[in-house]
Amino acid sequence: MHIPDGLLPPSVCITGYAITGGITWFSLRQINRQPNYQEQIPKASLLTAAFFVASLIHIPIPPFSIHLVLNGMMGLILGYYAFPAILIGLLFQTIFFQHGGLSTLGINAVIMGIPSLIAYYLWSLRTIPMFTNSLAHNVLAFLCSGTSIFLSALIFVFITLNNIAPDLDIDTEKTAILTSLIGYGIQAIIEGILTVILINFLTKVKPEILDHN
């Protein structure tokens, strides 16, 4: 899901940086409005590290090999901190692991960061009476995380499909890109389950971690 350097035209890369800059500004503005926002920084730092390391955890699902992203989980736990955390994590992944690229950093942040914020907004529905029981709470956590991953995959597929280099076999590339959605669908299920497990664990032992304020 990391788009490398050289795959996208400069106009798309610049647009990605512009969107990322705007969303980062918005997220930081919302964070600054929170009381005692400094108290959330250690939690955000820890989740940023987890996001950074997650790219090293590969899950072989023949004929695919996927790695954890955790952007949905970060949205649920971090709220508005998620987008800046993902941006920082992507930067370090690019520098140390060559996952993605510096020119496509903005686009990659859009691909993974926007769905993370959407997951956070969906997670706010947990206060509605219909989601207060344990089963509905778990289903909501699963859907928020899984939807975040699959939405990232859809954005990735849309961008790459519309920017296939003309010197490549376009039909073959389209088939490969669309087929990748199967792997991402499986990944969405895996990360949804992991998120449910983590949310239940934190609810029992450290519920204040789930407080974004």
Q: Report the interhelical angle of 41-54 vs 71-78 (nearest 10°).
A: 180
* Cα–Cα distance, 210 to 67 (Å, whole number): 25
Spatial separation of the C-alpha atoms in residues 137 and 131, rounded to whole Å: 5
Model confidence, pTM: 0.90
59's enclosing H/E stretch is: strand 58-61
Instruction: Look up residue 199 and give its two tokens.
Output: 């949310």
| Confidence band for 149, pLDDT divided at 50, 70 and 90 | very high
Check whether 208 has a pLDDT greater than 60.
yes
Report helix, strand or coil for 3: coil
With 0-12 CB in 10 A as exposed, 13-18 as middle and 19+ as buried, what is 151? buried
Q: Is 65 helix (H, G, I), strand (E, B) or coil?
A: strand
Question: What is the 8-class DSSP label of residue 56?
Answer: T
H or E stretch covering 31: helix 10-32
Encode pLDDT of 26-73 as tens digits.
999 999 988 888 888 888 888 898 888 877 776 666 666 677 888 999
Helix axes 82-97, 105-123, angle to 10 degrees: 150
* Summary mean pLDDT of the chain: 87
What are the backbone angles phi and psi of residue 177, rounded to the nearest 5°? Answer: -65, -45
Q: Which domains does the chain have, with CATH numbers?
A: 10-210 (1.10.1760.20)
Q: What is the pLDDT of residues 94-111, one digit of tens each?
A: 998 888 889 999 999 999
More confident: 2 or 212: 2
161 has a pLDDT exceeding 90: no
